[in-house]
């Protein structure tokens, strides 16, 4: 639920990185945090388990400058990917304005991608939001693993599995190496801002 | 996306100042359930990161609310964390927004609860305009 503060002339927008466990959601935020360190005034907040897995969410606020005189403040969140944390995922999706679905290119993770995307659609419905209407970008992550001989799905297979109906923009990337991390972020920000263009004029 | 008029925001600021800061509350924040900060007023001596605080507070409130529902409660009426120097009191204004007060030992919890009930009524009226 983006919020326009007319008094402070600022807009707050919530973007959530969603996807299966160990898919690279937190790694995306880690990369953005390092890359834009000078623009990020605060520390990234991470609520983790002792095993370094996301327990509740990661949170990273990023200022991207002004549009129509408004300061645009993007708030990036991740959800915990582990299957058992669905109640928490639902909470993090509250008031979401745009979503990056981080899917795992590894062949053995095919099923997890599918299940996670289906559950995301259901979770959005519980907040009266529609995956077909909300700004959404897919990221096919871990392309760097192809150099290590790990069997990966092809882009065509990923598209067939996840994007046949949604027909949203996608990026093949590596959150670890930073490939297409910024491009994914730029795309979801621009799509979300476009969805708010009427309010911002 | 939603917005609140400048007049509404200014009236909210006045309420927070006159009813909460005046009794010794260190910082009063209005956030929405998505974790956005709508209004924030402090006594000039609070230097913590409000943006991260709002995100964590919204998450924390939502988690406690979900726990209440799991045990068959509509909501827990008191949501309060006591610290050595600073304590935090949460209250739900309506389905969309929360009021958070950070205060020290010089403010009694009972008095604060009384004041926040009044403040919530006032903010609901302002919000509904």
Report the predicted TM-score, pTM, of the whole model to 2 decimal places.
0.90
pLDDT 10s digits, B12-28? 999 999 999 999 999 99
Give A85's contacts in chain B (Cβ within 8 Å): none
Instruction: Give the Cα separation of B129 and B115 in Å (integer).
Output: 22
Q: What is the DSSP string of B27-61?
A: EEEEEETTS-EEEEEE-S---S-HHHHHHHHHHHH
- pLDDT, tens digit (0-9, with 9 covering 90-100), for B52-97: 999 999 999 989 988 999 999 998 888 999 999 999 999 999 989 9
When the pLDDT of each residue in chain A is averaged and rounded to a whole number, the result is: 94
- Min distance A106 CA to chain B CA atoms (Å): 31
pLDDT at A199 over 80: no
Convert the pLDDT of each residue in B46-58 to its tens digit.
888 898 999 999 9
pLDDT by residue (tens digit) across A100-146?
A: 999 999 999 999 999 999 999 999 999 999 999 999 999 999 999 99
A97 touches A82 (CB < 8 A): no
Tokens read off for B9: 């925001």
DSSP B21: G
Picking from B5, B36, B56, the nearest residue to A12 by CB comes out as B36
Architecture of domain B6-127: 2-Layer Sandwich (3.30)
ipTM of the shown complex: 0.79
How far, in Å, are A5, A42, A176, A178, B41 from residue A34 at the CA level? 28, 12, 12, 10, 31
- For residue B20 the two structure tokens come to 């909460």
Q: Which residues in chain B are closer than 8 Å to A4, comparing Cβ atoms? A: 1-3
Nearest to A45 by CA among A61, A34, A31: A61
Ranges of each domain in chain A: 3-200
- Which chain A residues contact residue B10 at CB under 8 A? 7
How many residues appear in chain B?
129
Using only the alpha carbons of chain A, give its radius of gyration: 16
8 A C-beta contact, residue B90 and residue B79: yes
Establish if A97 touches chain B: CB-CB under 8 angstroms. yes
Pairing of strands A170-173, A54-67: unpaired
Annotation: CATH topology of A3-200: Rossmann fold (3.40.50)
With a CB cutoff of 8 Å and minimum separation 6, the contacts of A89 are A18, A79, A80, A119, A120, A123
With an 8 Å Cβ cutoff, are A4 and B1 in contact? Answer: yes
Chain B nearest CA to A146, separation (Å): 37
- For residues A74-98, give the mean pLDDT: 94
B34 to chain A: closest CA residue: A95
Token pair listed for A21: 């466990």
Q: Which residue has the tokens 């998505």?
A: B34
Q: For chain B, how far is it from start to end, CA to CA, in angstroms?
A: 17
Handedness of CA A150, A151, A152, A154 (dihedral sign): positive
How close, in Å, is residue B12 to chain A by CA atoms? 12
Q: Is there a contact between A95 and B32 (Cβ–Cβ < 8 Å)?
A: yes
Contact call for B66 and A2, based on CB within 8 A: no
Query: Which residues in chain B are contacts of A196 at CB distance < 8 A?
Result: 1
- Tell me phi and psi for residue A162, to 5 degrees: -110, -25
Length of chain A (residues) = 201
8 Å CB contact of A2 and B2: yes
Chain A residues close to B40, C-beta within 8 Å? none
Please give the Cα distance from A32 to A9 (Å, whole number).
25
């Amino acid at each position: 639920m983006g919020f326009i503060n007319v008094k402070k002339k600022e807009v707050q927008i919530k973007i959530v990185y969603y996807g299966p466990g160990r898919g690279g959601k937190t790694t995306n935020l880690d990369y953005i945090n390092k890359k834009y360190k000078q623009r990020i005034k605060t520390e990234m907040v991470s609520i983790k388990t002792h095993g370094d897995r996301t327990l509740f969410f990661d949170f990273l606020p990023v200022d991207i400058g002004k549009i129509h005189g408004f300061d645009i403040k993007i708030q990036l969140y991740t959800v915990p990917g582990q299957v058992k944390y669905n109640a928490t995922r639902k909470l993090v999706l509250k008031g979401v304005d745009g979503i990056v679905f981080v899917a795992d290119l590894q062949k053995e993770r095919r099923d997890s991608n599918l299940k996670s995307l289906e559950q995301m659609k259901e979770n959005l419905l519980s907040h009266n939001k529609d995956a077909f209407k909300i700004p959404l970008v897919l990221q096919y992550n871990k392309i760097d693993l192809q150099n290590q001989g790990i069997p990966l799905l092809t882009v065509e297979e990923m598209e067939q599995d996840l994007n046949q109906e949604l027909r949203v923009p996608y990026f093949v990337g590596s959150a670890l190496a930073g490939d297409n991390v910024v491009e994914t972020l730029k795309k979801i920000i621009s799509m979300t801002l476009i969805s708010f263009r009427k309010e911002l004029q | 996306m939603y917005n609140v008029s400048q007049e509404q925001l200014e009236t909210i600021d006045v309420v927070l100042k006159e009813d909460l800061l005046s009794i010794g509350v260190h910082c009063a924040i209005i956030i929405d359930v998505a974790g956005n900060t709508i209004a924030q007023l402090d006594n000039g001596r609070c230097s913590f990161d409000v943006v991260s605080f709002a995100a964590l507070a919204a998450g924390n409130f939502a988690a406690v609310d979900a726990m209440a529902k799991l045990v068959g409660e509509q909501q827990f009426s008191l949501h309060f964390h006591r610290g050595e120097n600073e304590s935090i009191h949460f209250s739900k204004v309506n389905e969309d927004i929360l009021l958070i007060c950070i205060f020290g030992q010089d403010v009694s919890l009972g008095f604060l609860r009384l004041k926040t009930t009044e403040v919530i009524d006032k903010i609901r009226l302002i919000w509904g305009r």
